[in-house]
Amino acid sequence: MLSSIIADFRVIFDRDPAARNWLEVLFCYPGLQAIMLHRVAHRIYKQGVPFFPRLISHLARFFTGVEIHPGAKIGTGVFIDHGMGVVIGETAEVGDYSLIYQGVTLGGTGKQSGKRHPTLGKNVVVGAGAKVLGNLNIGNNVRIGAGSVVLRDVPSDCTVVGIPGRIVYQSGVKVNPLEHGNLPDSEAKVIRLLLDRIEALEKQVEALQEDKLKERELVVSGVSNLGTNSGNNESHSCYIKDKEIEEFLGGTM
């Protein structure tokens, strides 16, 4: 347990540029204090001691704003930044060197017994206000955008954003965990594609109307069988846009 606490202490200097000295980190970082108290409560909890583990957890919540059930498993070097409003459920598991921001919930979705909270792999980043709900498996090196709601498993080396969470990036490239705010806006992209598609359809309808009007004028003047191929130039572009929209909707987590 002591080695884990030392690792929790050291990782703050690696991931928080505001950490200047050990005294400030020890006494002014509620995330570190919550994890230290949790490690004590978790050890007592595993020994089957009633009441006291929950009491320690409750006191930690009162003083730090971080609620970690004593049954939760927290890996080595986990950093809870700021911490206020973080809730980690009884059967949740957090992998080594994960980074959790304020307002995060690792919770359940019902009253079922057994494993009902998520399992996070190593080096996972969970952005501020994100919710990961249910017995999910979140792979290693996953980034979950701020405010996202994740309801399904996420493979390793992915980025998830949105409500419900969608995979918007998948690669084996290692990323800086502090760049969790540099995430794509998948909803805005799809809305832009839909607007472009509407505009293209409006142009096609307008072209058809003009062709019909010209055809009527030619019929009146004795010329008929006017051929037209309007819209063919945009068919390929529309197909690509439709494919991207279908991928977005099909990627719902």
Map out the domains of the chain as residue ranges.
2-179, 186-250
In angstroms, the Cα distances linking 1 to 4, 32, 37 are: 5, 14, 11
CA atoms 51, 52, 53, 59: torsion sign: positive
Task: Please answer whether residues 154 and 139 qualify as being in contact, where contact means their C-beta atoms are separated by less than 8 angstroms.
Answer: yes
CATH of the domain spanning 2-179: 2.160.10.10
| Tokens coding 162 | 């949105």
Q: How does pLDDT run across 122-181, given as a tens digit for each residue?
A: 999 999 999 999 999 999 999 998 999 999 999 998 889 888 888 876 665 555 555 555
Q: How does pLDDT run across 5-40, given as a tens digit for each residue?
A: 888 888 998 888 888 888 889 899 999 999 999 999
| Tokens coding 176 | 């800086």
Give Cβ neighbours of residue 248 (< 8 Å, ≥ 6 apart). Answer: 166, 186, 189, 190
